[in-house]
Amino acid sequence: MSTENEGNEVPQAPSAPPVPVASPAASPQGPAPDGNAPTTPLPPVPGAAPAVPAADANASHPSGPAPDGTWPPPQPPTPPHGAGAPYGDGAPYGDGASYGDGGAAGYGTPAGPGGPGGPAGPTGPVWGASYQQPAPRPRGRGGLLAAVLVAALVAGGLGGGLGYTLAKNHDDTGSTTVSASDSGAAQVRRAPGTIANVAAKALPSTVTIEAEGSNGDGGTGTGFVFDTQGHIITNNHVVADALNGGKLTATFPNGRKYDAEVVGHAQGYDVAVIKLKNPPSDLKPLALGDSDRVAVGDETIAIGAPFGLSNTVTTGIISAKNRPVASSDGSSTGKPSYLSALQTDASINPGNSGGPLLDASGAVIGINSAIQSTSSGGFGSGQSGSIGLGFAIPIDQAKFVAQQLIQTGKPVYAKIGASVSTGDSTDGAKITDQGTAGSAAVESGGPADKAGLKPGDVITKLDDMVIDSGPTLIGEIWTHKPGDKVTITYKRGGQEHTTDLTLGSRVGDN
């Protein structure tokens, strides 16, 4: 497997508040409510005249002769609510059309025929259900209830008015909008296990790296603080352009920018270490996890600068472990890197290279290094975006490499001392008949020679790891350190054999 190094339209607002769906239709002329039914408080009627009792044609006048032609007195002015007559005069509150009755459905709709007192009321926008005026009820406990309600309304009005007055007197801006404190965002506390909390702690220890070659070529990648001395871990392909007389800079999320230099790089591992010039004294290295203990399904958090967008955080899970990956920078002279990688579906794009892959606790479990590209029909070198297949160097391996680079400036590789085919294969890693540049396929006196391996042998396992190709074998060997003892399973002449060997070492990218 080879990979690429990755260096509703808003609806219009309604013109009026919505009408409730479950509004009951108004009764044109319903029966009077029962005397024990609860009394609905009436809204105040602006300009309404006091109630006048109706004259009884059969009753004698207690103070003298029958009233003259001026009785009953003239009707008072028509109230503005569209009522046919003033409340209590001759008929209940606009009798003939009870508050928009007579077929109209809602407040402000055309009123029905007016009562004895006046014409129909005005029209207006429909905001709600119709209102049915209840008939008058006998006096008694209801009067006390009404008095209590009135007192409560008065008290509520006084309280509301007092509150409004106090708020207005203390509002220097003239606005009645209630806003959160400016420092409210800083006071939000998030649990340690949340992605926001992990990102907040990790971001200050990540940098965006800009590499520029002497010929003007360059690119952008990511790195993270490895120690308090100013060492930053990243990918080899991130800094490759600046290796021969180029320029490196590292920028922190707070905007602080530092010149940097390459301490060492390992092309085969795709790991590099740079050091800040005049580093700050407040550097906080990221905690390193244990990539061997990572399990498929564990949460992952990736930080980087995809397509130059610094300080970007994405999330996902571990999709697979020990994924054999042969990656390159796509150049004609670039040599491949071989990884036994952590696979994640967290979005990783060009620019995420060298950034940390974190677990749910915020510990670094890998270095984001490669993505699958569809630009060439599979794995290739185009600048395609994430399709959910990203690969990271396990931190256990990267830590060892970084320490070697800081100490000596050169990488150290484990080896078996045999040349294997890197062509397509599914059967295993075959030891070639001849080594590179005419050398022997099996190094004389090397680990493979001492273990009895010969040209033509096909290695199918290294310890319990199935080996299906040469790149898979190389990537798996490089997860070990020189001096580690491993068990090799191989086939010779159709027969399966096993042998133990102690891994040797190779210094530098030869």
237 annotated active-site: yes
Please give the Cα distance from 411 to 308 (Å, whole number): 29
Please give the Cα distance from 36 to 228 (Å, whole number): 83
Using left for φ > 0, alpha for ψ between -120 and 50, and beta otherwise, residue 409 falls in left
Please give the Cα distance from 431 to 459 (Å, whole number): 8
353 annotated active-site: yes
Residue of 321, 318, 508, 301 lying closest to 401 (CA atoms): 508
**Hey, what are 282's tokens?**
């407040």
**Hey, what are 34's tokens?**
């029962």
| Annotated catalytic residue within 291, 353, 386, 419 | 353
Please give the Cα distance from 98 to 135 (Å, whole number): 10
The structure tokens 């039914």 sit at 37
| Annotated catalytic residue within 81, 237, 265, 480 | 237
- Judged by DSSP in three states, 102 sits in coil
424 annotated active-site: no
Work out whether strand 2-5 and strand 312-328 pair parallel, antiparallel, or are unpaired. Answer: parallel
Please give the Cα distance from 398 to 375 (Å, whole number): 29
Element (H, E) at 498: strand 495-502
Please give the Cα distance from 206 to 192 (Å, whole number): 19
Please give the Cα distance from 230 to 483 (Å, whole number): 31
* φ/ψ of residue 367, rounded to 5: -115, 120
The structure tokens 């990203």 sit at 390
Q: List C-alpha distances in Å: 341 to 349, 366, 368.
A: 16, 9, 10
Cis peptide before 72 (omega within 30 of 0): yes
| Annotated catalytic residue within 101, 241, 270, 457 | 270
Please give the Cα distance from 498 to 496 (Å, whole number): 7
Asked if 71 and 55 count as a contact pair (C-beta separation under 8 A), the reply is: yes
Catalogue the active-site residues: 237, 270, 353
